[in-house]
Structure 1
Amino acid sequence: MAEERNAAGQRLGPRVAIRLPRPRPTTADLAGRYVSLTPTQPDDAGPLFDAFAADTSGAGWTYLPQEPFATQDAFAHWLAPVCDGDDPVFYTIRDANGVPQGLASYLRITPDMGVIEVGNIHFAPALQATTGATEAMYLMMQHVFDDLGYRRYEWKCNALNAPSRRAAIRLGFTYEGTFRQAAVVKGRNRDTAWYAMLDSEWPAQKARFERWLSPHNFDAGGAQIAALADA
């Protein structure tokens, strides 16, 4: 497509072909082979508290805005209002038996621009480094691009959070830079690393996920045959 310029000879960006604004995330369940995601409800507080309590070191809370909750009641008090919010929109990640094992959300939802972010990701130890953890992220991407038609899907994290940064790259996001002194969290400076995936990149990423998630990619013991990076 030929580059457009205005009357002053200045270069212009490509015209956006999709219709804006895009729809907001739905309240429908997102069902996969290994996990399902359901809109978070207050009744999820007990099972989630128990699942997160298996993290006895508290490492999973280090880069979250919250500290570990001392009691189930305290966690339930925090969880109740987020169940009714429209930004962020929280989902509970359930294992194959329907047991809650994690949280994730859409946030900074900007329908007018077709931009949305994934964040507030908190996996219990039982979910970490599992096929289900990867599938949960795939299901959220699929909803954003295939169902809602967004142009841009963002992932942001504390620049010191090495596991989150590795996960972003593994999942197909592109590193775009670090915003220095972007926030103060728990009284400490946070430099924020930015990653994103575009709608034009999604078809190839979707095919990669589907190859990796295929039952043919796992042996009888459930171990992966090809890594996601090689799928």
Structure 2
Amino acid sequence: MSGSDRGAPASIAPARGVPERTVLAGRYCSLEPLDATRHAPDLWRALAGHDHLWDYLMQPPFADEASFTAYVAEREARTDPLGYVVIDSGRGQAVGWASLMEIRPEHGVVEVGNVLFSPLLQRTRIATEAIALLAAYVFDGLGYRRFEWKCNALNAASRRAAQRFGFTFEGIFRQHMIVKGQNRDTAWFAMLDSEWPARRAAFTAWLDPGNFDAQGGQLRSLAAIRDSL
């Protein structure tokens, strides 16, 4: 077997370690390492009464703040998934979370998962900036080669979000998991280091205050900006 038959050589140096409990700061939000004492009360207020947000997650909705706080504390102790809370800079409160998980530094691969955005966060500039901050940390901060997004194949909203953010659909893993007693086919998406410079430029242009009118509506969509680069 020739070298060409075994695949191309890796294009970059090995990734620089694993994600750390660090603050990622942006214009509209910051991402802070999950801290149950500081963040659980805000998160509970943002999520309580919106049980549908848990439909495609591994956990069922929580009945009360105490059980939710205990779950957040258990998540805080993990390093994979490593949870980050989205802090709305205007409100000064936690409005959702996401995790870096399936961390494989030897391959330069990591996934963004356990994404739980409250109604205060959905369809806002903050939601887009949160993903942009994580992508910048993965590619620019850690030097990883591949940033993954996986979701239940039935979760149309998550699939749309992945593609809007610039992840490429790669296929369906059939019967990938059993979640809450039901089969889960998993849709796979990914962004590569070679694609990141253009994705970063699109995020920067879309998030610029000049891209929004007086009512906060976007002047150009993220996809339109990305297609123009």
TM-score normalized by structure 2? 0.94
CA distance in 2, matches of 1:50, 1:125: 11
Kindly report which structure 2 residues correspond to 1:16-55, keeping only aligned pairs within 5 A, or say none: 16-43=10-37, 44-55=39-50
Equivalent in 109, 113, 116 of residue 110 of structure 2: 116
Q: Is the 8 A contact 2:42 2:93 kept in 1?
A: yes
- Deviation at residue 53 of structure 1 after TM alignment: 1.1
1:216 paired residue number: 210
- Deviation at residue 222 of structure 1 after TM alignment: 1.6
For structure 1, the 5+ residue unaligned runs are none
2:71 paired with 1:78 = yes
Equivalent in 133, 137, 156 of residue 139 of structure 1: 133
Q: Is the 8 A contact 1:54 1:125 kept in 2?
A: no
- Deviation at residue 36 of structure 1 after TM alignment: 0.8
Deviations 1:154-175 (A, max 9, x none): 0000000000000011111111
CA distance in 1, matches of 2:16, 2:175: 31
1:172 paired residue number: 166
SS at match of 1:24: coil
1:69 paired residue number: 62
The amino acid that maps onto 2:180 is: K
Q: Is the 8 A contact 2:146 2:191 kept in 1?
A: yes
| Larger proportion of helix | 2
The amino acid that maps onto 2:44 is: F
**How many residue pairs end up in the alignment?**
223
Q: Is the 8 A contact 1:93 1:100 kept in 2?
A: yes
Identity %: 51
Instruction: Please list every run of at least 4 consecutive aligned residues from structure 1 whose deviation after the TM superposition is greater than 2 angstroms.
Output: 17-22
Q: Is the 8 A contact 2:173 2:187 kept in 1?
A: yes
SS at match of 1:160: coil
SS at match of 1:177: strand
CA distance in 2, matches of 1:114, 1:128: 29
Kindly report which structure 2 residues correspond to 1:156-171, keeping only aligned pairs within 5 A, or say none: 156-171=150-165
The amino acid that maps onto 1:64 is: L
Kindly report which structure 2 residues correspond to 1:93-112, keeping only aligned pairs within 5 A, or say none: 93-96=86-89, 97-112=91-106
TM-score normalized by structure 1? 0.93
Equivalent in 2, 5, 10 of residue 5 of structure 1: 2
Q: Is the 8 A contact 1:145 1:151 kept in 2?
A: yes
Q: Is the 8 A contact 1:54 1:124 kept in 2?
A: no
RMSD, aligned α-carbons: 1.3
CA distance in 1, matches of 2:18, 2:35: 19
Q: Is the 8 A contact 1:219 1:225 kept in 2?
A: yes
SS at match of 2:163: helix
Q: Is the 8 A contact 2:15 2:143 kept in 1?
A: no
CA distance in 1, matches of 2:162, 2:80: 22
SS at match of 1:11: helix
Distance verdict in 2 for CA 1:145–1:125, change over 3 Å: same
SS at match of 2:99: strand
SS at match of 2:183: strand
Q: Which one has a bigger Cα radius of gyration?
A: 1
